[in-house]
Amino acid sequence: MVSGMRRKTSLTLDESALAAARAGAEQDGKPLSQWVEQAILNEVGRSDVALIEEWERALPKEDQAVLAALADTDRLVDLDR
């Protein structure tokens, strides 16, 4: 499950990683903890198909339609190769 109960924890980060996270959070206008959580989910999502599918199901119907259209276009491009 992507969202739900939160647990307070602590992380030990390299100074440069912490600086990059703080800069990213500031740029996105998010609290550091929210930005780090999203960065973790983004990284996991790069290879976790179930997480990606859960995210897609949570999207509004209009966004799901756009994803479906893009997938159809990808399939057509693959057929042309």
pLDDT digits (tens, 9 = 90+) for 39-73: 998 888 777 788 788 889 999 999 999 999 999 98
Asked whether the predicted pLDDT for residue 2 surpasses 60, the reply is: no
Q: Looking at the domain assignment, is residue 4 inside a domain?
A: no
Q: Looking at the domain assignment, is residue 66 inside a domain?
A: yes
* Structural domain boundaries, residue 37: 15-80
4-37 burial code (b ≥16 CB/10 A, e <16): eeeeeeeeeeeeeeeeebeeebeeeeeeeeebbe
pTM over cut 0.75: no
Domain count, the chain: 1
